[in-house]
Amino acid sequence: MKLYSNPDRSDWSEILKRPTQTVGDIEATVNEVFNAVAKNGDQAIADYTSKFDGVCLENPIVSAQEIEAAKTEVSESLKNAIALAKRNIEAFHSAQKTDKVTVDTMPGVTCWQEKRPIQKVGLYIPGGTAPLFSTVLMLAVPAQIARCKEIVLCSPPNKEGHIAPEILYAANLCGVTKIIKVGGIQAIAGLTFGTKSIPQVYKIFGPGNQFVTVAKQIATKYGVAIDMPAGPSELLVMADTTANVAFVASDLLSQAEHGSDSQVILVTTCQEFAKAVSEEVQEQLAVLPRKEMAEQAIANSKTIVVDANTTAIDLINAYGPEHFIVATADNDFFVNEISNAGSVFIGDYTPESAGDYASGTNHTLPTNGFSKAYSGVNLDSFQKSMTFQNISKEGIQNIGKTIELMAEAEGLQAHKNAVTLRLKELEK
């Protein structure tokens, strides 16, 4: 991890750059795949699955037999762990339900708001080096609570043409209605346009690599909504000399092992603490199974020493981390002052891993600084807020003149007439 000691504020933007390609670098590839899928449907999907995943599939749809087989391949201990995580995620997301809001804005004018589910949603679950069955829980559980009618899951197959049994088990447990063996850009394109095998959806959820992230952004050009621009994972830890060095190092490595394009940052007010963490990172790194991948991420990561907590919080808000761990003598200061973060983890015994798996909060979070404007996935992500209004005879008489005056001032005579005709009818 590269060390920066009290960098000038004018240099923060450069220091805090993410190790990601720009949209322009990969947009041409994404558009090529989208155009092919729009034109050739399942055939294009099959061609790209063969090209990118190295497998030819006769049928990309996961069968009931495959789901049943997956149940036998998942150990009872892992099934119990998944069940506990699911209960916590259900508890937290069910608590986010809101009642209908009804207001009489004036006599005879009743307005209300109700939540309605997004009927068709697509869930993208990364496979590859780490099949993220935990993401199935994070997306399918709130989709089920929201009562989405169709929940379509796409995940890339392995070289044998299979999806990890843990993913299939979790998907079946959480009410996914269709599972398809397709990943990458072609999966997002399939969910966007719809093919014979892949239903077209209204909104796409889920993390992925930079190509998937750009594909989701391109999908919005074709009228499909997305949860957020969620790319490579990132973590910022704010720690001082009261924190446990080993804990801090383990948290940094827990994100670094996600992928070579992940980024982790340590912010501290003590140079000696920074050095101790750096040494501990190397010690723990040496025995990790995913050492090579984590090493590449660590090479893209930074340690920043600042002079005070007030400077630190300014820097952290400027970065807008996906995950933010705070382990200091004054955690309350950082909790109260943080404005830009996807999810916050407080204290020595709250590892980011808890949010990734089982505490109940959602781990699908905004990256690349988008926490400045986006929320992480939550129950509302799978719902729409619809407004209703009911105006009585008394109500239109109370509000009618106001509407007429405003419509006339804007030069919209038909708008005015829609009210005038009603008022005249009531005068009879």
State which fold the 392-427 domain adopts. 1.20.5
Report pLDDT for 233: 85
Dig out the tokens for 391 from the structure.
């105006």
Task: Give the integer Cα–Cα distance in Å for 352 and 370.
Answer: 19
Q: Is 209 marked as binding a ligand? A: yes
Q: Count of CB atoms within 10 A of residue 280's CB? A: 19
Record: fold of 2-20+232-360: Rossmann fold (3.40.50)
- Is the pLDDT at 21 greater than 90? The verdict is no
pTM score, whole prediction = 0.93
On average, the pLDDT of the chain sits at: 95
63 is in an annotated binding site: no
pLDDT attached to residue 299: 85
Query: Computed from CA positions of residues 80, 81, 82, 83, in that sequence, does the dihedral angle turn out positive or negative?
Result: positive
Domains 23-229 and 392-427 share a fold: no
The predicted pLDDT at position 210 comes to 83
Establish whether 258 is an annotated binding residue.
Answer: yes
Q: How large is the average pLDDT for residues 232-245?
A: 95
- Domain boundary assignment for the chain: 2-20+232-360, 23-229, 392-427
Q: What is the DSSP letter of 379?
A: G
Residue 159 has a CB neighbour count (10 Å cut-off) of: 8
pLDDT at position 23 is 67
**8 A C-beta contact, residue 388 and residue 112:** yes
Mean pLDDT, residues 204-216: 91
- What single-letter amino acid sits at 135? T
Active site residues: 322-323
Residue 233 is assigned to a ligand binding site: yes
Average pLDDT over residues 404-428: 97
Q: For the segment 171-196, what is each residue's pLDDT rounded down to a tens digit?
A: 999 999 999 999 999 999 999 999 99
CATH topology of domain 23-229: Rossmann fold (3.40.50)
Tell me, what's the pLDDT at 129?
Answer: 64
341-394 residue pLDDT tens: 999 999 999 999 999 999 999 999 999 899 999 999 999 999 999 999 999 999
Residues 6 or more apart in contact with residue 25 via CB below 8 angstroms: none
